[in-house]
Amino acid sequence: MDISAIPGSYSGEIDLHHLRVLDVLLREHSLTRSAQVLGVTQPALSKTLARLRRYFDDPLFVRVSLRMEPTPKALQLQAPIAAILDSMRTLRSEHVPFDPKVSNRTFNFCVVDAGVIKLLPPLLKLLSAEAPRVRVRAIQLETDHLESRLESGGVDFAMGSFPGLGKGIRRQQLWTERYVSVVRRGHPRLNKAPSLKDFAAEKHVLVSTFGTGHAHQSAERAVEAAIPADNIICRVPIFIAAAVVVKNTDSVATLPLSIATVLADDLGVTVIEPPLKLPRIDIYQYWHQRFHREPGHKWIRSVFVRLFKSGKG
């Protein structure tokens, strides 16, 4: 590992936290996004960057339009810093066990809202019994940021169907999702198996996940192709919002079966079979190769396999 670019001594020494800050900045090219990944305020991050600039006697980043572009010095540091951080993760993986019974770790995972509704109730029930101090945080990210967050560790893993993720991302299939539609109970025109003509004649609420990279977009396009444009009355970014609109109108929403069955009970809507050829989507959990052997990562992934592997979810 070439660390000749890193000064040997300085009155204000830096530590692994400072190296991780620089590592994240080199990935995100943004103070705002880096602060979100690191879970710190932007002023605190700016203070750390100022210290790094003094330590390395270099500006490290310069603003170009809306991005922070690394200087040649920062690019020279990128590989040795990544190697140091990877070595520390390896040491921790080999020598620090993970005990879910006593751990107070928080796991961050990326998932669309359909996943939150399916995953969280059984997951929290299991954690309460087996890992009472472990916490989880579900977030949504655009696909442009997801891979870098997985690589940096800002997001521990992702759940869903993100076919565009790169080779450094590992994946494990959990179940296959199919689509159904929902209407309010007592809908005046649609029964549980409507014809295509009757289905297309209704007003529809479309869930749009544009920008997330999620495979739901293929189902979204299939509905758009079958429904007259004038009959798509609104688009919403989350599945539960579409179901709430349906509950209070005579409109139709097409959703993953797993969320539709939950909302049928919770919101009092009726599941119907859409007379369309809709895709089936394989749902995976994703994580970065860098964290493949880390004990906490291995444990939380095993939890999702136990709860949601095909036939259990």
Tens of pLDDT, residues 9-35:
444 688 888 998 999 899 888 898 888
99-124: pLDDT as tens digits: 999 999 999 998 877 778 888 999 99
H or E element that contains 254: strand 252-256
Q: What residues are paired with 139 via a beta bridge?
A: 110
CATH superfamily of 179-279: Periplasmic binding protein-like II (3.40.190.10)
Q: How far is CA 237 from the centre of its chain?
A: 15
What integer best gives the mean pLDDT of the chain?
87
Q: Is the pLDDT of residue 200 over 50?
A: yes
The residue written with tokens 């572009």 in the block is 69
How much is the pLDDT for 313? 43
Query: Per residue in 235-249, pLDDT tens?
Result: 998 889 999 999 999
Average pLDDT of span 127-132: 96
Amino acid at 127: L
> What pLDDT is attached to residue 1?
43
Predicted confidence (pLDDT) per residue in 36-46, tens digit? 878 789 999 99
* Greatest alpha-carbon span in the chain: 77
Query: Using an 8 Å Cβ cutoff, are 171 and 285 in contact?
Result: yes
Comparing 5-19, 129-143, 191-205, the range with the smallest average pLDDT is: 5-19
Instruction: In whole angstroms, give the CA distance from residue 261 to residue 271.
Output: 7
Q: Do domains 106-175+283-308 and 179-279 have the same CATH topology?
A: yes
Angle at 99 between CA 96 and CA 100, to 5 degrees: 140
Look at residue 140 in the predicted model and tell me its pLDDT: 77
Q: Which among 58, 66, 60 has a CA at the least distance from the CA of 78?
A: 60
CA distance 120 to 270: 23
Q: Amino acid identity, residue 97?
A: P
Domain edges within the chain = 16-94, 106-175+283-308, 179-279
**pTM score:** 0.72
Q: What percent of the chain has pLDDT over 70?
A: 90
Task: Tell me the CA end-to-end span of the chain in Å, nearest whole number.
Answer: 45
What local confidence, expressed as pLDDT, does residue 162 receive? 86
pLDDT of 92 over the 70 cut:
no
Of 11, 34, 9, 30, residue with least CA distance to 21: 34
Over range 290-312, report the average pLDDT.
87
| Topology of domain 16-94, CATH | Arc Repressor Mutant, subunit A (1.10.10)
- pLDDT of res. 311: 53
Provide the CATH topology of domain 106-175+283-308. D-Maltodextrin-Binding Protein; domain 2 (3.40.190)
Q: What is the pLDDT of residues 153-184, one digit of tens each?
A: 888 999 988 888 888 899 999 999 999 999 99
